[in-house]
A and B are shown apart, each in its own frame.
Chain A
């Protein structure tokens, strides 16, 4: 049988930053990069949780500025490629991207909300013109149909992306959702397809395997699942399962397990776990950042936060619409009173 190859892209030091309020420090970055590099992980992504140039009062300030994080990672990655996550609207080409590329970034992943691919055009085409590897990323991808996702991914392809990663940012997918999307993308694109999972429903590894089986050739995963809320696809588990299934990742399993142990020891305060609220936000398909305001407002109105989440999901609420939490809680409070009569 022909050995099927999967590229693993590891955003432990980027998505994981969400879990520690973007406080990863130089020593941590250096040590994990060394361990991931020793394990031969293909791509190691570094930076603020929301990517390059996103350190801000709004989203949280990085303890380690972009250029220092990149310099540290660059110095400790010998075989692994150095990757960055870039969201137009936060990162600009002149201020952020050019200097990052000068520092030796190998892989640029330009990301937008799943319906907004066209804001990525300039960042993608610029990165391509600089000769680095370029991927497009579509976030919160569960909010649109496979056909619409393909339409957005095609835009990224037309700008010069060499592959498109669709992200299950809310941890909402079940395996069939993933299969349908990978098939649509593989069928409709002439570039590579990747999948980025979250574990709210305990399906991140299973979904990633389905993605691979359906034709995706790149998978994102983090050591111990280090990421916000329920966490990401757990990298060392994914590597083990892929090995059993006969996929080749080029990763040394023992060294990957060591890297994950190290990550647990030096990067995280708590290992990501699927809390009850994570289950609900994943089911509802709501942005995980809503957890705190929903809990607070539900308490104020004496309604069940789980009901609030499901209603927000039904209304397809996205980040930035926090004001609607109040409206939903108010409505639910009225309904509850009626229900008692």
Chain B
């Protein structure tokens, strides 16, 4: 808050109440509270006509992963950024869905540094799992999905990693690698620290891909790639909104 004040940004500790009292203060709201809180905030913000980028796993609006469905998300007034594990793994799951037939099962195991998990994350583990599983299913078309989250207390802190396993009928690794490469390039435009560190390979008759997400290390430490990836995705989304709004203005002006 001190940092924000030093940049001349208006700050309040009153949460959504401040926006209700000062509806002119913003056009767009990033909600980074908790799933439970966002369920209360969403109707209030809708009434105020605010665009909302929801960073909790409340899943009120369309699930949005910028590298996959940026264009669709633009039409929505409330988009949900799924979860950090979802932002890291859904592009891979999407690539699997696009290139493989009969995707029976996708499993994602995410490990994050204990220090990067605040109280809301710890309270929201169940919502995290449910929302990540729903996102994986929706973007890959897999029949069954499973998400697991490990908090790793190791020191020095571990980087965020996600391992994606898939059971498909006849794995086509060549096709998957090609599509994945393109997606990874897109992701790296907004999350430069995103990289595939293993795979895609076939091990034990299943596809395995491991990704690591290192944060920018600008404000949050670099190991907190989980926080960075969802923040960066939300910012990428907001920038698209801003561009779209800018275009509308120039059309009107012209």
Select the stretch in A85-93, A101-109, A231-239, A254-262 that faces chain B: A85-93
Query: In whole angstroms, how far apart are the Cα atoms of A92 and B35 in the complex?
Result: 15
State in angstroms the CA–CA spacing of A88 and B147 once bound together.
12
A-B contacts at CB below 8 angstroms, number: 67
Q: Which residues of A from 38 to 65 have beta carbons under 8 Å from B? A: 54, 56-58
A residues with CB within 8 A of B:
54, 56-58, 88-90, 92-95, 113, 115-116, 118-119, 121-122, 316-321
Q: Which of chain B's residues 120-143 have a Cβ closer than 8 Å to chain A?
A: 122-123, 125-126, 129-130
Q: Are A56 and B109 in contact (CB under 8 A)?
A: yes
A-B contact pairs, 24 of them (CB 8 A): A54-B148, A56-B109, A56-B148, A57-B167, A57-B206, A88-B125, A88-B126, A89-B148, A94-B130, A95-B129, A115-B114, A116-B122, A116-B151, A116-B153, A119-B151, A122-B125, A122-B126, A316-B154, A316-B155, A317-B154, A320-B111, A320-B152, A320-B158, A321-B158
Residues in chain B near residue A58, CB distance under 8 A = 107, 109, 148, 163, 165
The residue of chain B having its C-beta at the shortest distance from the C-beta of A92 within the complex is: B126
Q: How far is the CA of A95 from the CA of B163 in the complex (A)?
A: 22
Complex contacts, B151 vs chain A, CB 8 Å: 89, 113, 116, 119
Given contacts A57-B107, A90-B148, contact A118 B154 (CB under 8 A): no
Contact digits for B145-173, partner A, Cβ 8 Å, 1 yes 0 no: 01011111111001000010101000000
Q: Give the contacting residue for A121; candidates B107, B123, B129; CB below 8 A.
A: B123
B119 at the interface (CB under 8 A from A): yes
The interface residues of chain A lying within 8 Å CB-to-CB of B129 are: 89, 92, 95
Q: Provide the residues of chain B in CB contact with A115, threshold 8 Å.
A: 114, 153
**Residue from A95, A118, A317 within 8 A of B130 (CB atoms):** A95
Is the Cβ of A320 less than 8 Å from the Cβ of B154? Answer: yes
* Contact (A321, B154) CB under 8 Å given A56-B148, A58-B165, A89-B148: yes
Whether A56 and B146, one on each chain, are in contact in the complex, defined by CB atoms closer than 8 angstroms, is: yes
Interface string of B87-128 (1 = CB under 8 A from A): 000000000000000000101010100100001001101100
Q: How far is the CA of A116 from the CA of B112 in the complex (A)?
A: 13
Interface of A is mostly: loop
Q: Which residues of B contact A (CB under 8 A)?
A: 105, 107, 109, 111, 114, 119, 122-123, 125-126, 129-130, 146, 148-155, 158, 163, 165, 167, 206
Instruction: Decide: A118 and B122 in contact? CB cutoff 8 A.
Output: yes
Specify which chain A residues have a CB less than 8 angstroms from the CB of B148 in the assembled complex: 54, 56, 58, 89-90
- Give Cα distance in the complex from A93 to B114, angstroms: 22
Q: Which 7 A-B pairs have the closest CB atoms?
A: A92-B126, A57-B165, A89-B149, A115-B153, A58-B109, A320-B152, A320-B111
Q: Which residue of A lies closest to B109 (CB)?
A: A58
For A56, the chain B residues whose CB sits under 8 A away are 107, 109, 146, 148
CB contacts (< 8 Å) of B107 on chain A: these are 56-58
A119 and B122 contact, CB distance less than 8 A? yes
Q: How far is the CB of A291 from chain B (nearest CB, A)?
A: 19
CA gap between A54 and B130 in the complex, in Å: 15
Distance A115 CA – B113 CA, assembled complex (angstroms) = 12
Q: Which residues of chain B are near A119, meaning CB under 8 Å?
A: 122, 125, 151
Q: Note all chain A residues with C-beta closer than 8 A to B114.
A: 115-116
With A and B bound together, what is the CA distance between A215 and B194 in angstroms?
50
Further 15 A-B residue pairs, CB within 8 A, beyond A316-B155, A320-B158: A56-B148, A58-B163, A88-B126, A89-B148, A92-B129, A93-B126, A95-B130, A115-B114, A115-B153, A116-B114, A116-B151, A118-B119, A317-B154, A318-B153, A321-B152
